[in-house]
Amino acid sequence: MPYTLPDLPYAYDALEPHYDQETVRIHHDMHHKAYVDGLNNAEAKLAEAREKGDFGLIKHWEREYAFHGAGHILHTMFWQNMSPNGGGEPTGSLADQINKDFGSYDAFKKQFSAAAVAVEGSGWTVLCWNKLFNKLVILQVEKHQNLTQWEVCPLLIVDVWEHAYYLKYQNKRAGFVEAWWNIVNWEDVNSRFQAAMK
């Protein structure tokens, strides 16, 4: 089955005023769809290479597969990590783990925001559960797939590619990141954390 663009879990304008309707529409309908299309194409080319036994372009198609596949996964999670009823602070075991691993929610938020603003070029910042380390970690991801760690489960992500915020925030990435905290879907993040801990 080909991969498909998932529907948004809310209306295009539901995240206003923090995330504007036009950016959400373009970001989802055009940018995210391009990664879905790229993933389908890369998978088809890899299947063709296996059928023909011709792996002359394997490096290219594996790179495309990683790039577009990771882009699709991260965007899908990005939409779910936000909610019109979001914001505030995490609660329960997630809050306890944040306090344990970062000292406090405020310290976590400052580190996560600083990491997001400092991503070089295009990429993401991700809060992950590292099963091997048995702790929460914050990672910067360049493009969609560089600078990650193995054995991590992503819980919370923010997209800091310019297409994610440029219409409303222009080059003010820090302004976008600060506004984004108002729409973080902690219920979704907590459910991901509970699943990662099992």
Residue 181 lies in a domain: yes
The confidence band for 111, taking pLDDT boundaries of 50, 70 and 90, is very high
pLDDT (0 to 100) of residue 191:
97
Euclidean distance between CA atoms 120 and 66, whole angstroms: 19
Question: Are 27 and 189 spatial neighbours (Cβ–Cβ below 8 Å)?
Answer: no
**Does 106 share its domain with 129?**
yes
**Does 139 share its domain with 44?**
no
**Does 113 share its domain with 38?**
no
**Helix 186-197 to helix 92-102 angle, to the nearest 10 degrees?**
80
User: How does pLDDT run across 36-71, given as a tens digit for each residue?
Assistant: 999 999 999 999 999 999 999 999 999 999 999 999
Cα separations in angstroms, 68 against 1, 137, 145, 160: 16, 24, 9, 16
Query: β-strand 123-130 against 152-159: which pairing, if any?
Result: antiparallel
Euclidean distance between CA atoms 127 and 123, whole angstroms: 14
Q: Residue 180's domain spans which residues?
A: 92-197
Tell if the pTM clears 0.85, that is, is over it: yes
**Does 114 share its domain with 181?**
yes
Ligand-binding site membership of 32 (annotated): no
Q: Residue 20 in 3-state DSSP?
A: coil
- Domain containing residue 39: CATH number: 1.10.287.990
Euclidean distance between CA atoms 134 and 136, whole angstroms: 7
The confidence band for 22, taking pLDDT boundaries of 50, 70 and 90, is very high
User: How does pLDDT run across 117-174, given as a tens digit for each residue?
Assistant: 999 989 999 999 999 999 999 999 988 777 777 889 999 999 999 999 999 999 999 9
Residue 5 lies in a domain: no
What strands lie across the sheet with 123-130, from one edge to the other? 135-142, 123-130, 152-159
**Does 71 share its domain with 158?**
no
**Does 109 share its domain with 67?**
no
**Does 98 share its domain with 155?**
yes
**Does 99 share its domain with 58?**
no
**Does 127 share its domain with 69?**
no
Ligand-binding site membership of 75 (annotated): yes
20 phi and psi angles, rounded to 5 deg: -75, 150
Count of structural domains within the chain: 2
